[in-house]
Amino acid sequence: MEYRNLGKTGIKVSSLSFGASSLGGVFHSIRKQDGIKTVRTAIDNGINLIDVSPYYGDLKAEILLGEALTGIERDEYFVSTKVGRYWTNGEKSWDYSADRVIKSVDESLRRLKIEYIDFIHCHDIEFSNKQQIIDETLPALHGLKKTGKVRHVGITGLPLENFRYIIDRVDHGMVETILTFCHYSLNDNALIDYLDYFEEHDIGIINAAPLSMGLLTTRGVPEWHPASADIIETCRKAVDHCLSKNKQIEQLAVKFSVDNPRIPTTLVSTANPENLLNNIRWAEEYLDEALLADVFEILRPIQRKSWQNS
């Protein structure tokens, strides 16, 4: 496993990291023991960053992750979790107020059974009042940093332009990390345009969803996927081309995402230990440049075409 500096945090993270959303049964129901085994398989194989949120599975992901981490030495892993996005009475809710995020951190610490959170992120800032993030949420989280409850503070979201909006309006160092998803994958490499910007601001990049939330999979896109029909159809053509070459697009997609040294880490999510081992293997295999060129050409009509978060 390769380890890279995450911005100026002083932390080296594994190039492949674990997204714990699956532990909450976000995509389908899971077996508890499979989830626990997946977390321990990740750590045993050198993955040292685990990302989660109280939103994933209405607290279930954090609860199960806390159980899975019990008995593992704290210096073997880094935890990233989030504030601002929740489930309330069975419905999606958002609250980025100082009082709520401070309370949220304490709640996450209890569920995770740890004494501090390595990375705390404002979750999906496209749903927030951005001025509140600037004036209230980030200062509150930095207040928690002074207490030792959190080590580093960042923001997450789908539209890349929102990162620049926030970062341009706060003091240097207020945003230490960003978590972006579906923007450094085979069908959308828009993150490239922001690498210089993030590096100039000493911000660590966490990339997620190298399979574009299921678009780039042999099993096919999930029914809930928000992509348009042309994106889904074109991605399927790329999947079929890989199969015609006796290759899995999943391997190509994961390898492509982890192969850029300017992107410190890429999150993959599963609650199946065998699937996780496949992802680790794919990240370590060679990059088939000829197949990559073919897939890029197939995906060219929809390259960087995105969708709205929901």
Residues identified as active-site: 56
Up-side HSE of residue 172: CA atoms within 13 Å toward CB? Answer: 8
Give the helix ranges, DSSP H, for the chain: 32-44, 60-69, 98-112, 130-132, 138-147, 160-167, 195-200, 229-244, 249-258, 273-284, 289-299
Q: Which of 219, 217, 212 is nearest to 190 (CA)?
A: 212
How open is the CA angle 297-303-307, to the nearest 5 degrees? 150
Are the C-beta atoms of 266 and 210 separated by less than 8 Å?
Answer: yes
- Which residues have a Cβ under 8 Å from the Cβ of 201 and sit 6 or more positions away? 167, 172, 175
The DSSP output letter for 190 is G
79 Cβ partners below 8 Å, 6+ apart? 50, 52, 65, 69, 112, 114, 117, 118, 119
Q: How far apart are CA 52 and CA 108, in angstroms?
A: 10
Residue type, 144: L
DSSP string over 108-160: HHHHHT-S-EEEEEE--GGGS-HHHIIIIIHHHHHHHHHHTSEEEEEEEES-H
Which residues neighbour 115 within 8 Å (Cβ) at sequence distance 6 or greater? 74, 109
Check if the beta carbon of residue 157 is closer than 8 Å to that of residue 119: no
